[in-house]
Chains A and B, each alone.
Chain A
Amino acid sequence: MANLSVNIGSLRLNNPVLTASGTFGYGEEFAPFIDINRLGGYIIKGTTLNAREGNDYPRMVETPSGMLNAVGLQNKGVDYFIEHIYPRIQVYRSHLIVNVSGANIDDYAETARRLHALDRVSAIEVNISCPNVKEGGMAFGTTTQGAASVTRAVRSAYPDKPLIVKLSPNVTSIADIAKAVEAEGADSVSLINTIMGMSIDVERRRPHLSTITGGLSGPAVRPVAVRMVWQVAKAVKIPVIGLGGIMNGRDAIEFMLAGATAIEIGTANFIDPAVTMKVIDYMEDYCSRHGISDINEIIGCI
């Protein structure tokens, strides 16, 4: 059987399959359907310094080949996570990666600092790309200066452990943002977060979402995501994690060919809660069909 293990900085994943933050809860929601220990790692819900109630309902609308969401980082805050959720999910052996968000740079850094003490948190993914919050979030991810300043602060609060920065596609040059966070010490970049979108109920003449705009995900965004992964992989030396509309193993391989060292499965979890296992199976089968002994051989071959 081919080697599927890949490295994200010092983090060794048994296979390239991760789950995208906000689509996989805290992992345990999916325990009835999959063997969580078989995942390369699992990235859990965006965590902030203080609890957030998120946006008003309605927060979601189906769109052609995808969906718009405007959840708005609903979570109970990092201390609640450490006290109540972390002890529960430590039973999983797969790498636990916490997604971190904040309203300002100090919040990002403080949240990262509190997570740094947790042995079973293998890495953090810093979200500078959420389109659904008024303050922070995407605001930091749309300029090289903003992205660099968050990365610098988090890097110093979270030393010596893998730091991934999740990038927004809602920018002119995502490669420039990637280079900026690489220069500040990020170990990896993940992309893309959702693309800002909007949908209107024409009968009621009102937007479908309470926030008017939201983040588009699902296969509708995939060609944009593949293009951006390809551009970023050419621009930086750190490993790139690809995501955006991956529905199956074929799509995952597409991202790896474009330059992704690992991939995240997001919206597809909502439709098939066992999709992650099928993607790992597909990768094994793909390698054997193509006579590949190590999946690292195909990364970025385009």
Chain B
Amino acid sequence: MKQVKDFTIIENLHINDCYSRMTLTPADGAPMPEMKPGQFVQIAVEKPGVFLRRPISINDVDYSSNRLTLLIRKAGKATECLIGMEANQTLNILLPLGNGFSTDAPAGSRLLLIGGGVGVAPLLYLGKELKSKGFNPEFLLGARSAGDLLELEDFRAIGTVHICTEDGSEGIKGFVTAHPALNSPYFRLYCCGPAPMMKAIASIARDKAVDCEVSLENMMACGLGACLCCVEKTVKGNVCVCTEGPVFNIKSLTWN
């Protein structure tokens, strides 16, 4: 059930100048609502010049310790403020929002989770969920350079990780779309990252007739399907990314 809750920051780990990994727990100690991989939260950022909430992907959820983890990239005033926050500070969060990735597939299916930059965020929780369902998910992670590869050790703890960097500082040099891992037969591709990357992956998936889900990040105001600002064109017409997405099967999009 969607709710607005105050969360206390337990830790805000600065990965480098541009990224932090924030771990939170409900301020009232109540158990967190159930959250699915691919869903997101909307955070109220108390900073002059920031008016609307900011949507952030759910990076990880641990019900046993009642903790939520978010991966934040500095993209503007609001995210800069979030990266600068410290343990014990409070954030008002609207959650959980959106639909999430599919986690059902025939037993033994090969699944590839493709992330670019901070787009890897929802893939950690998705990978864990798929692993707990008996799959052996693989990851294909891309970034500008080695320093932008986030949470590598966490991904490696779940499954095989293929890496690309644009400058060649780690893994194969170039974009994820050129990685040979994509030549393997997968049952489904999951993709989250910059729009040009997702469109390129979607095109590969269409050519190979492989199932493919992408997570969009259209600008939004409410996150509840009320403002109709974050729409994406689909085969059903304009739909809200915040409620019908953010995860879409590429078959429902009009990208080709």
Contact = CB atoms under 8 A, between A and B. Distances in A.
Interface stretch (A58-66, A98-106, A222-230): A58-66
A217 to B, nearest CB: 10
Nearest to B224: A29
A66 B49 CA distance: 9
A155 to B, nearest CB: 29
A67 interface: yes
Given A60-B220, A60-B221, A271 B226 contact: no
B228 A30 contact: no
B238 A54 contact: yes
B73 interface: no
A62 B2 contact: no
A269 interface: yes
B52 A25 contact: no
Nearest to B3: A32
Query: DSSP majority for the A interface?
Result: loop
Interface in B1-29: 1-4
Q: How large is the interface on A (under 10, 10 to 19, 20 to 34, 35 or more residues)?
A: 20 to 34
Interface stretch (B62-70, B145-153, B204-212, B229-237): B229-237
Contacts of B230: 57, 60
Contact of A24 (B44, B53, B226): B226
B226 A270 contact: yes
A207 interface: no
Contact of B2 (A22, A33, A53, A57): A33
B39 to A, nearest CB: 14
A66 B221 CA distance: 11
Contacts of A54: 228, 231, 238
Given A60-B219, A267-B221, 5 more contacts: A29-B225, A53-B238, A54-B231, A57-B230, A57-B231
Interface of A: 22-25, 29-30, 32-33, 45, 53-54, 57-67, 69, 71, 74, 218, 267, 269-274
